Structure 1
Amino acid sequence: MSGTSASEYICKCTSACAGCSSSLILRHVLKAAGPDTVLVVPACCTSVLQGVWPNTSFNIPVYNVAFAAAAAVASGMAAAFEAVGKNTNVIAYAGDGGTVDIGIQALSGALERDTNFLYICYDNEAYGNTGMQRSGSTPLGARTTTTPGGKTHAKKDLDRIIAAHHLPYMATACSAYPQDLVKKVQKALSIRGPKFMHILAPCPPGWRYDASQTIEIGKMAVKTGIWAMYEREYDTLTLSGPTKAAMIKPAPLEEYLKMQGRFSGMNEEKVKAIRGEMERNLRLLKAEAEGTC
């Protein structure tokens, strides 16, 4: 891809599951960022897939930190680099459990302090590293090990919580659209101050689909509109092309749900509720992008 490093910063033979989209996301993120990058990783799937000391599958410095501390550690690291005049990219790379739930306090504090870093939440919509327990990011109706009958609450609206901090840049992306993802990472790293990206990361064992379908499911999430892609620069929102297309002619939501075992046995009432949440979100985003809200 244009502007990305030819080097690889994730080596072969990681400890990731087959079809893991979070490792695919990280490969693109690091190729966009380049070698002068430090990664801060809290407890999550990424802290496992990097390998067991003294070996590692990562070709850049990585700091493994406590579940709640990624943004706080990255904030201190960014201040230290600035104090010695270095422009090293500081990237916090955390799952939804460590962002939407456990790490949200430290994240909010770092954003409020105008920390010069990029925080990326790769969202597999559950606590994947510890057996797919329900997180605040798990969607309504999804079966997890702690919601075997399907989650009874809607997914937490993380992006509007982050938007309330009025960042210079935030964006959403999906592992199935790598060119869009890379461009957004490069743009984020070109801007000084706090940046945030929320990236959908389909998970074969947790979402209960065959590993070969990871890209197909990611694309379906965007084409149905259940996952919207956009950029927000301060308070100006721009919809990404695939989401604009989904607003005009969406793919069937039921088809997306049927592709995943976690939504098995869902009744029409739950499907209707999911559709209602999705359509409400798209209406709000469209109105914001058009300046009519």
Structure 2
Amino acid sequence: MSELPKEEYLKKCTSACAGCSSTLCLRYVLKAAGPDTVLVVPACCTSVLQGIYPTTAMNVPVYNVAFAAAAACASGMSTAFSATGKKTNVIAYAGDGGTVDIGIQALSGALERGTNFLYICYDNEAYGNTGMQRSGATPIGARTTTTPGGKLETKKDIDRIVAAHEPPYMATACSAYPQDLYKKVKKALSIQGPKFIHILAPCPPGWRYPTEKTVELGKLAVRTGVWMLYEREAGKLTINGISKAAMKKPLPLEEYLSAQGRFKGISVEAIREMQLTLERNQRRLRNEEEGLC
């Protein structure tokens, strides 16, 4: 952690929930991006936790936009900066609801146009800002306010959807591994064109675990294989060392599930489906890395 810059662009006066990992993520994203950065934030937890001007917690300019418009706004902003010769970093910072569901058409359009920006999805696997309703990113079996008996469908694979657009750089990250996140943001911002980083961001009130367990939950997600850490640069996929080690000796999936109240009463069938899904994902990523697909 001593390698990271001391400058802070997210101040301590946020109104985030205790144990909020998306705030931790944003702290390291901004450390990597630096002061010449503009955030584009659609409706999500981040649009609330920043506070009200002039007492905002953000130490960089922030544009709060409509739920579906983050990538579209960032696309226009990037073009405007380019036209005036500025090299300001344009970062769309959106939750899973504004990425996987409501904002997916704008994201697809910006990727297809080749917009020079970084799109970051911090994924707490539900609509956290409005009470933890089910999103397309909610995993099977998870209880939310709109799936009180547990979600019946598997999590939407936004990473494969983004990969189909063939951006020059995309990666996954987790709030429990800040140095990995920092390095990926630095690399992404050094590359011209559209970039995408998908961060798993555990949520204490939504996932129903004690606030001091946020980092532990993130590490459990990676070490069980539920969340894979990798990069895809110029079409070449690399599974990061943390996940490679986890794949050799993964922790039981039940350790991750039992630590969260949202999976209380999850069915054996849902656990089996989740296990099969993570195994398929690992196999697909391993084959791609080895050039077998």
TM range (shorter): over 0.9
C-alpha distance in 2, partners of 1:91/1:157?
22
Residue 32 of structure 1 aligns with which residue? 32
C-alpha distance in 1, partners of 2:99/2:234?
21
Residue 157 of structure 2 aligns with which residue? 157
Please, what TM-score do these two structures have when normalized by structure 1?
Answer: 0.98
C-alpha distance in 2, partners of 1:170/1:57?
28
Residue 10 of structure 1 aligns with which residue? 10
C-alpha distance in 1, partners of 2:200/2:190?
22
C-alpha distance in 1, partners of 2:248/2:4?
32
Contact 1:222 1:243 in 2 (8 A): yes
Counterpart secondary structure, 2:107: helix
- Deviation, 1:156, is 0.3
- Deviation, 1:247, is 1.1
Residue 280 of structure 2 aligns with which residue? 280
Residue 21 of structure 2 aligns with which residue? 21
Contact 1:5 1:34 in 2 (8 A): no
Q: Assess, with a 3 A threshold, how the Cα gap between structure 1 residues 3 and 116 changes in structure 2: closer, same or farther.
A: farther
Counterpart secondary structure, 2:93: strand
Contact 1:138 1:151 in 2 (8 A): yes
Counterpart secondary structure, 2:16: coil
Contact 2:141 2:267 in 1 (8 A): no
C-alpha distance in 1, partners of 2:52/2:13?
12
C-alpha distance in 1, partners of 2:196/2:88?
17
- Deviation, 1:267, is 2.1
Task: Report percent identity of matched pairs.
Answer: 74
- Deviation, 1:71, is 0.2
Alignment of 1:1-293 (within 5 A): 1=1, 4-293=4-293
Counterpart secondary structure, 1:57: coil
- Structure 2 portions without partners, runs of 5+: none
- Deviation, 1:3, is 6.8
C-alpha distance in 1, partners of 2:48/2:73?
19
Contact 1:37 1:88 in 2 (8 A): yes
Please, what TM-score do these two structures have when normalized by structure 2?
Answer: 0.98
- Deviation, 1:270, is 1.4
AA aligned to 1:215 is V
C-alpha distance in 2, partners of 1:172/1:217?
16
C-alpha distance in 2, partners of 1:32/1:116?
17
1:95-125 deviation digits (Å, cap 9, x = unpaired)? 0000000000000000011100000000000
C-alpha distance in 1, partners of 2:166/2:241?
23
Using the TM superposition, name which of 59-68 and 49-58 deviates more: 49-58
CA RMSD of aligned residues (A): 0.9
Counterpart secondary structure, 1:111: helix
- Deviation, 1:52, is 2.0
Which stretches of structure 1, 4 residues or longer, exceed 6 Å deviation after superposition?
none
Contact 1:71 1:107 in 2 (8 A): yes
C-alpha distance in 1, partners of 2:207/2:266?
14
- Deviation, 1:2, is 7.1
Counterpart secondary structure, 1:43: coil
1:205-248 deviation digits (Å, cap 9, x = unpaired)? 00000000000000000000000010001321000111101111
Counterpart secondary structure, 2:52: coil
C-alpha distance in 2, partners of 1:130/1:107?
22
C-alpha distance in 2, partners of 1:5/1:216?
24
